[in-house]
Amino acid sequence: MEQLLNEIKIAYIDSGINQVLLEIPADARNGPYAMHYNQGEEFFIELGSPVFVPRLPIHHDIRKPVPDANYATAVRDIVAQLAKNLPECFTGLTYFFDPAEILKPCFYRLYKADNDVYLYLLRVDLLPRPFDSETLEAGTNDLTPAYSARRIYMESEIIPLEAVMWESGRVKAFRIRQLISQTWIGETGKGYRVRGIWMDSDLSKFFTKLFVPPGKRVYPFYPLFCKYMTLCATSPILSSDGRRKMIPLLHRAVQFLTPEISRIQESLKNDKFTESMPHFTALRNRVPESWKAPLSHFSIEAYLNEREQKEYSLDYANDTA
């Protein structure tokens, strides 16, 4: 998946992998899984049984839009395992190959709200993590290790679109509706220690906190967040119904915040986000209580894992999702 400016391009769609998705039974239900964030704020799910991931190539020429046959076969087998564990997650999705992120198989689906179009984008991270997996075969300079893991890292995002580009009856690209002009606000350090400073994190806190009750602890779960220079949503409930319940929230948030984005950016250029910011307080008072319902069922709890590292459990109180 090549991203150029505000576009996500689709270079290649594998028919064999998509056939696996098409064969998911309509009445299949997800197996048990738990939702978590690690110490680095990365989202992962924990399955009841492990998924086997064979050795995969580490390198790929991004100018080559079509993957090797062995790679496609390996990804198809992985997708078949995931679809067996999480059929509701993958029902209705389409797989496409991203030559720049070969260890992150990508899946998408389009949704509409009124006259606006939203892209659901699911990335499954197959990069082996030594502490979260069991190595079955050593890797090389060119191949990842083969491993099994119950923890699957993923990005489950909903993105507002400006347009969908078609060519010969197939989707070729998604043009993102960019609402944010600039998130870079400066740099810190000197010489080799210089690093950029962005306001993405503060924008994500600002967006999310508007739609949750005052004082509710959500870190590191920010379901309305800044990415691609726009306002996106995360969908941790891995089912079609789970995605659909987040789209009205994002749609309302986009409509509500679009006229306010410039002022929000200005307020965060020189000050870190706090819930006492006057502009934030004024906006929160305008948000109807009914808009907060989709996030009211979520709760987050910190704990220490077996290595005494902090992790977070994300729970959802409504079993109907």
Q: How do the pLDDT tens digits run along the chain, 321 residues long?
A: 444 458 999 989 999 999 999 999 999 999 999 999 999 999 999 999 999 999 999 988 888 999 999 999 999 999 999 999 999 999 999 999 999 999 999 999 999 999 999 999 999 999 999 899 999 999 999 999 999 999 999 999 999 999 999 998 899 999 999 999 876 544 444 545 544 455 899 999 999 999 998 888 999 999 999 999 999 999 999 999 999 999 999 999 999 999 999 999 988 988 899 999 999 999 999 999 999 988 999 999 999 999 999 999 999 987 444
Residue 81 lies inside a defined structural domain of this protein: yes
What phi and psi, each to the nearest 5 degrees, are found at residue 173?
A: -165, 155
In-domain check, residue 218: yes
Domains of the chain: total: 1
* pLDDT of 3: 46
Dist CA 76 CA 82 (whole Å): 10
Domain span at residue 207?
Answer: 2-316
Query: Does residue 196 form part of some domain?
Result: yes
CA distance 136 to 111: 40
In the 8-state DSSP scheme, what is residue 189?
A: S
State the DSSP code for 39.
T
User: Does 321 reside within a domain?
Assistant: no
Residue 211 lies in a domain: yes
Pairing, β 298-304 against β 43-53: unpaired
Q: Which residue from 237, 284, 236 is spatially nearest to 257, judged by alpha carbons? A: 284
Q: Length of the chain in residues, anyone?
A: 321
Residue 181's pLDDT is 82
Q: Note whether 300 and 320 are within 8 A (CB).
A: no
- Judge residue 192's burial from the number of C-beta atoms within 10 Å of its C-beta, 0-12 exposed, 13-18 middle, 19 or more buried: exposed
